[in-house]
Chain A
């Protein structure tokens, strides 16, 4: 167990290291970060002075070392737009994004796991068909269109729910549904196929032959084994949710990291963009590390690999 833990921790560290390099490199893609950061009308003299002040003339790896050192201390530089530390601005917005992603994930799990199980147990019945078709549509609906259509229906036509902002639980409903639908569809399909596979296994047949009645077979024997791929995908789906929050937050004016980043890119406020990308990616890495640890409890064979 401890070697598995150490190896897994090391892997996460390497990944975070790589993430930091990519985040650093984004600014250097055009070859001249000074031109990316300064407004287009900056004079040649301004650009030269700025380059000198920011140390952009130093060797690439020296600059990366400085960036990494700063990042480890939570220093991504000052926001060009707000004149505050970029890190603080992003951290301030994190709770809103976690609230939205968490609500979407909770909604997805509450809908998809029962739907997937019922769909598998009652295979090829109308219930299964409805769940399958709904899941297929859920996977094909673009988030941003769904969000706009929900606003059209519930905010403009029916005037039941607010279309933007954060605060009351009502504010959370539309964004969470918008963000969560794709994940709901994914997990429904996965649960269904996982359950179908498990229900055909010998030990399920044995349990049934021993006279165990239907519901314990499904809920105890089958679900426990079908849960393993579901737990993995929950970790991966969190990445989808954090990424999807960029679009959803923009549509619903939700004051989270996603909306902040889109605004920051429009303002060429790259320190904020770098801090946001780094923090969201780190969150994803940490959550997946935790998921893997949960995983070892569900399936002890993993530890031995």
Chain B
């Protein structure tokens, strides 16, 4: 019997990656989105270094509600002005990137893992398991998301962990549906059937052969979902159910700004711009990722 020598997989894989990166780089909007996202990540990580002032330190004397560009008694300029408690707005906007991204990454990780597991089981096992999981998905989708989240957070009490867990646990459906769809197609492909015919167990087939191929749509969903999660985190903070004051959050700043809307426009404007830029960057990158990896994907 002749021995078939299979070529090493590594170079082909690397070439694939390079090709992918090259294709992604030709999409200018996606590249722009990626740069914006990277800048926001750097801002969040290096917030204490970048921030010109302490984001929490109050000055209830002469520094309250000063407009952008205000120079204080010590000669320091406040580029975005100060808030109703005399805190520097730029410092708070910079520090606000932290809870937003932290909740974004952590919640997406939780829902992504749950959804991936549910999608794999639903698609590969099928039958009764599929029925049950898809009905659970319908139940989950029936709830107005924000309302369910605030009801649960209201009972449990707001904290960073609660927000992450609540958003993470209740956002799995998109992932499950997209992975399930991918698995249903993959299950019928020759390489999967070959692996089964050669005696690979179900778990091995799912993990070695199906999972890697279902990862692409999953990644696209995860990227685009991150934008949604960041908006939800801000919405919860806006309603006072997010990370609690005095810690700076974009949503919390907007809620403060809403009170002073007729006298201090900058309070509500800049945190909102921060959310818009972040979410826009993620959406641009996610769209580019989808168009590069799988243009037919409907997400």
Contact = CB atoms under 8 A, between A and B. Distances in A.
Contacts of B151: 26, 261, 265, 273-274, 277
B276 interface: yes
A116 interface: no
Interface string B165-198: 0000000000000000000000000000000000
B280 A246 contact: no
A277 B261 contact: no
A228 interface: no
Interface stretch (A81-89, A138-146, A210-218, A219-227): A138-146
Contact of B144 (A18, A141, A243, A262): A243
B147 A22 contact: no
A2 interface: no
A174 interface: no
A142 B275 contact: yes
B144 A250 contact: no
Nearest to A241: B144
Interface stretch (B43-51, B108-116, B250-258): B250-258
A136 B224 CA distance: 12
B265 A152 contact: yes
Given A142-B279, A144-B235, A265-B150, A239 B261 contact: no
A12 to B, nearest CB: 9
Contacts of B283: 136, 139-140
Contacts of A204: none
B268 A145 contact: yes
A29 B156 contact: yes
Given A140-B279, A144-B238, A285 B142 contact: yes
A281 B144 contact: yes
Contacts of A247: 146, 235, 238-239
A277 B298 CA distance: 29
Contacts of B254: 144-145, 148
Given A15-B135, A148-B258, A152-B265, A265 B141 contact: no
A236 to B, nearest CB: 8
A137 interface: yes
Nearest to A280: B144
Contact of A144 (B234, B240, B287): B234
B261 A156 contact: yes
B149 to A, nearest CB: 9
Contacts of A277: 143-144, 147-148, 151
A149 interface: yes
Q: How large is the interface on A (under 10, 10 to 19, 20 to 34, 35 or more residues)?
A: 35 or more
Interface string A242-269: 1111110011000000100110011010
B31 to A, nearest CB: 15
Contact of B234 (A26, A142, A266): A142
Interface string B262-294: 100100110110011001100110010000000
B144 A265 contact: no
B171 to A, nearest CB: 13
A291 interface: no
A243 B138 CA distance: 16
Contact of A258 (B143, B147, B148, B154): B147
Contact of A137 (B143, B156, B235, B280): B280
A181 to B, nearest CB: 12
Contacts of B138: 11, 14-15, 18
B145 interface: yes
Contacts of B203: none
B262 A142 contact: no
A192 B163 CA distance: 35
User: Quick one: which of B150, B287, B298 has the most chain A CB within 10 A?
Assistant: B150
A19 interface: yes
Interface string A124-159: 000000000000110111111100110110001000
- Which of B155, B283, B298 gathers most chain A CB within 10 Å? B155
B136 interface: yes
Contact of B154 (A149, A265, A276): A265
B135 A11 contact: yes
Nearest to B228: A139
Contacts of B147: 242-243, 246, 258, 261, 276-277, 280
B1 interface: no
A278 to B, nearest CB: 10
B231 interface: yes
Contacts of B257: 148
A30 interface: yes
Contacts of B18: none
Given A26-B151, A246-B144, A268-B154, A145 B276 contact: yes
Top-4 shortest CB links A-B: A243-B144, A145-B272, A18-B139, A265-B154
9 contacts: A136-B280, A139-B283, A140-B280, A142-B235, A143-B235, A149-B272, A151-B261, A242-B147, A243-B145
Interface of A: 11, 14-16, 18-19, 22, 26-27, 29-30, 36, 136-137, 139-145, 148-149, 151-152, 156, 229, 236, 239, 242-247, 250-251, 258, 261-262, 265-266, 268, 270, 273-274, 276-277, 280-282, 284-285
Interface of B: 135-136, 138-139, 141-148, 150-152, 154-156, 227, 231, 234-235, 238-241, 251, 254, 257-258, 261-262, 265, 268-269, 271-272, 275-276, 279-280, 283-284, 287, 298
Given A15-B139, A273-B151, 5 more contacts: A11-B138, A14-B135, A261-B147, A261-B150, A277-B143
